[in-house]
Each structure stands twice: as structure tokens, then as C-alpha cells.
Structure 1
């Protein structure tokens, strides 16, 4: 039996934060996130991993992966009694398709194909380079640029930044009565 390396990554989808289990042995992004370059830095940053896994989660929810078996979704019950409030399965799938489409539009034609291949179809970098006729080790650089653009689309960044100076606020207790009261 193959031992799996499962890690939990926190992802925000439609304003809801949830932990997503990532199989680090399955995902090319997980492999890249574990490896370090000569300078000791990771090949991809945690924010890039989160962006790529968020794209993959939406791709999976949208049901966009090619099917290898029959689609039995059509024969399931459509009775909504006892169902959780919110979107039904087809609405959730449609919303996920829209999110994938917006992410690919934000990534642009330069990066969208590569992001789909690596993040969604789980192709390795060597396979991508071979299919596209790229020189060795170029896919890693292009992928990092694409993941940066994807992270920016999702509103993710390495560090939180606020205004350079916050507005000063003061809270005071009201002084009433004689000496010592109200303190």
C-alpha cells in the first residue's frame, strides 16, 4: 500500500474559509512546495500553493475533469426535503465553473493553459515542457509567474498590509460626581 502525505491547506471560497486536504504525493504543486532551490527558498511559495489548490478545488467542484465512467448524477433523487440551505449540486457546479472561468481570464492566455495542465490535470512539469516543446526547467519559472497572477486574482499575498498610519482613537470614561468617582 502506498503511503499518502496529506497536508491541510486553508482556502477561502466565496468568503468562506475551509481546510482542504491536499495529497502532496499526487499534486505537482505539493511536490514543488516541498522542494527547495540552491538558495534554500521553496520552488513555490505557500500563497502560490494555496492559489493553485483553490483553482483545483473549483475545477473539481465544477465537474470539469473528463469522466472515465458513466455519469450517475442524473439518476439521483431530486427531493429537496432535509437538504442544507444554499446552492443545490447543479448550482454549486455552475458557480464553480464561473469561478474557474474568471480565474483563467485573470491569468490570461499566457498562463491559463499551463495552470490548467499542472493544477487541474496534475501534469508534471517535464511532461508540460515536452508537450509544449519548451527547454528544460522553464515550466517551473512560467508556472510561478502564473501562480502569482492567480494568487493576485484571489486576493492572496505573502503578507497582510494595512494603511501606513492608522487613525488615532481614544476611549475615556466619563467623570461624574466627586473625587475618585468614575475612575
Structure 2
């Protein structure tokens, strides 16, 4: 008795030229990768055009088209592990390796490969911009961390208040430099941090830092310096101060709340729902 053998689905074969191109992406594949790197972006087979992908982006029920690409470009990204299809084969999304490649491409020169493994951001302050790894920022961690009820540990106002204090401390040159400043000016043999040699914007930043810490109070100012300035994590703060576990979270929320009040930052916008229409005539 002859048994029927079901045909297995044919395995997708990536042409050799496409596998070779995955190390150095073609222009269209690179553009598709950049589209997939946008928030909420994905690509799917185009129902209107054969052998084509349509890229979409957006969320919360709103989807916006962001271009049409050849299916071969999607295969190149998938072969290079820069993008992956879902189980149903209906959506192509970027992978962690793809995001790392985009971060590497966004940074020039020697900072390209460090940017691949770190979330580097540019902090304006002082005499020159400073690169900072945002993934090491405890304020960002507190924004991502959720309580049992689903709310973040700190709100947007507290996060912005802590970032503002950090920027002022950076501008005021109150944080230690990693390395030597060979080009720093010297006045009458004094060091580069001589108060008399500070620029006006540095002096103004120091005054803002002093005013913010005074408004928060001496009982909480030291915590803000460690948390926002030196980017110490909550567990390290608890260990250094010999506090009970998870107590730094509560104290940090109180300190950042006071700091936000000092800066005049509110959790939600207040005011009338509609502004009065004014007309100016020439």
C-alpha cells in the first residue's frame, strides 16, 4: 500500500549575492533599516504590489505609511539578523542587532563602536558638549520602572527637574572631569577652577545650583547631588548611607518633587481649556 507523503514547504533560499551584501548593506536595505528603527515601525508584504514591502509606523491605532521597498531588502536584513519576521510571517521588525547598528552609524569616528553598546546622548554644558551613557542614568531607570499599580516611580516633572539640576551642575563645572584639561586657562598661577577665572554662564549655573539645593533643604540636597550629579544608583545610595532596602526610592521621590516645585514644573498642564482669540490689526 502506497502512502502519500506531504510535500514540505520550500525553504527560502537567500541568494549568495544578498548574503554577501548583508555585511555592507545596499542603499535600499539601509533605508529600510532606518525606517524600521523608528518608534512603532514595521514592514509587511504590500497587498497591491508584488514582491514589495510597505513600511508602516505609529501606534495607538494610528498607522502611517513610510515607504515601499523591495522584498529582497527585507531578506537581506533578515539574513544579517538586523530584522526578523513574526511567527505568522506578516510583520518585519528591527532586532537588537539592528538598533545597535543604527546607533553605531549615528556616531562618527572613534565613538561609533561604543555607541553600539551604549545609549549615548549629548549633554550641552560647559565649554564643550559631553557624551553620556543614558542607560546609566538612574533617573531614566526610575522613569522606566513601574510600581505595582503601573505608574512610574517618578513623573515627567520630577525627571525633568533632576535633568535640569544635572545640566546646571555640568555647566557649573561641579562634577569631576574624566581626564586632564590641558587647554584650561590659568590666572596668576591658580588652577583652572579658580572662581575668578570662571565665565559668566558658569557663575550663573553655580548660582542656580545653590538656589535649587537651598530650596530642597540640607536633608535632601546631598541625595540629589549623588543621584542627579554623580549618577549613583538607589542601591548604592542605600549602601553608602546605611539606609534600609528600598528606602532611597521613597526619599528620592520626595526630593525630586521638591526640586520640581522649585523649578515651577507641574505634573500636568493647568489653565483654561481654550485660549481667548485675539486679533491684531496693522
Bigger radius of gyration, 1 or 2?
2
Matches within 5 A, 1:119-138: 119-138=228-247
Matches within 5 A, 1:12-31: 23-31=133-141
1:79-125 CA distance string (max 9 Å, x none):
xxxxxxxxxx7111111000000000011012100000000011111
Query: Gapped runs of 5+ residues in structure 2?
Result: 1-113, 123-130, 187-197
Provide the rounded CA distance (Å) in 1 between the counterparts of 2:180 and 2:217: 33
**Is 1:5 equivalent to 2:119 in the alignment?**
yes
Report the TM-score, using the length of structure 2 for normalisation.
0.47
Provide the rounded CA distance (Å) in 2 between the counterparts of 1:74 and 1:170: 52
Provide the rounded CA distance (Å) in 2 between the counterparts of 1:67 and 1:60: 10
Q: How much does 1:160 deviate?
A: 2.1
Say whether the 8 Å CA contact 1:23–1:30 is kept in structure 2: no
Q: Secondary structure at the match of 2:222?
A: helix
Corresponding position of 1:35: 145
> Could you say which structure has the greater relative contact order, defined with CA pairs below 8 angstroms and 6 or more residues apart?
1
Report the TM-score, using the length of structure 1 for normalisation.
0.70
Q: How much does 1:73 deviate?
A: 1.9
Distance 1:6 1:34, change over 3 A: farther
Q: How much does 1:67 deviate?
A: 3.3
Corresponding position of 2:164: 54
Provide the rounded CA distance (Å) in 2 between the counterparts of 1:146 and 1:139: 10
**Is 1:97 equivalent to 2:211 in the alignment?**
no
**Is 1:64 equivalent to 2:178 in the alignment?**
no
Q: How much does 1:6 deviate?
A: 5.7
Provide the rounded CA distance (Å) in 2 between the counterparts of 1:170 and 1:60: 42
Number of positions where the alignment pairs a residue of Structure 1 with one of Structure 2? 147
Provide the rounded CA distance (Å) in 2 between the counterparts of 1:90 and 1:69: 21
Corresponding position of 1:153: 262
Provide the rounded CA distance (Å) in 1 between the counterparts of 2:202 and 2:236: 29
Corresponding position of 1:106: 215
Distance 1:163 1:98, change over 3 A: same
**Is 1:73 equivalent to 2:184 in the alignment?**
yes
Distance 1:7 1:41, change over 3 A: farther
Corresponding position of 2:30: none
